[in-house]
Amino acid sequence: MDRHHHLPDDLLLAYAAGSLAEGWSLAVASHLTYCLSCRQRDGALEAIGTAALEEMPPEPMDAGAFEACMARAESAEAEQPGNVVAGSNTPAPLRQYLGCDIDAVKWSPLGGGIRQHLIETGDETRARLLFIPPGEDVPQHTHQGLELTLVLAGSFADGDEEFHAGDIEVADETVDHTPVSGPNGPCICLAVTDAPLVFRSWLPRMIQRFAKI
């Protein structure tokens, strides 16, 4: 099944080129397990890149280039359709990071029934799972950088737009919003940022220093 909210071309191009930071790559790879049209676009971009490389004169390989290529091939295999565990909404790339399905993760409370689970990355990006109860809103905030939010279960509304399982929202410093979890069950999502959020009220600002938001 295809999705309604997709990845922008610049992120897909960077992903196809292997130049995305680790957290962004996790979000993109996880979205690709759901989204046929983004997988097709990613495949087309990779084909263009391959054709361009074939026309270039040969160059000596960097140390570790073969290992990086094999890791990319393993990631691409995980992105094929059908790699979401039935009943758990866990994309294969995400499961590799968690070491388990979403149903088995350990949550930490953030307040208002919202919980999180931090995911280790090896760079400046921060990745986390969020559990947001039905009808609960994420406090109003904007951004100092980029934020990718992939819905894994349930849904959330942001203004006039709704995001369901497999949809991904891309937000930056131009976006000031208060996402609200849908009414038909908790919203579980993967959120990746590269800078702290900018909350509008004092209580979330007090919490974020301890929660690493």
pLDDT digits (tens, 9 = 90+) for 80-110: 444 443 445 699 999 999 999 999 999 999 9
How do 187-193 and 180-181 pair as beta strands?
unpaired
Q: Which amino acid is at 185?
A: G
- Residue 189: both structure tokens together: 């999502």
205 vs 49: CA distance, rounded Å: 43
pLDDT in tens, 54-83: 454 555 655 555 454 445 445 444 444 444
- Residue 124: both structure tokens together: 């400046």
172 vs 50: CA distance, rounded Å: 31
Considering the domain 1-213 in this protein, what is its CATH number?
2.60.120.10
Confirm whether pTM is higher than 0.95. no
107 vs 133: CA distance, rounded Å: 13
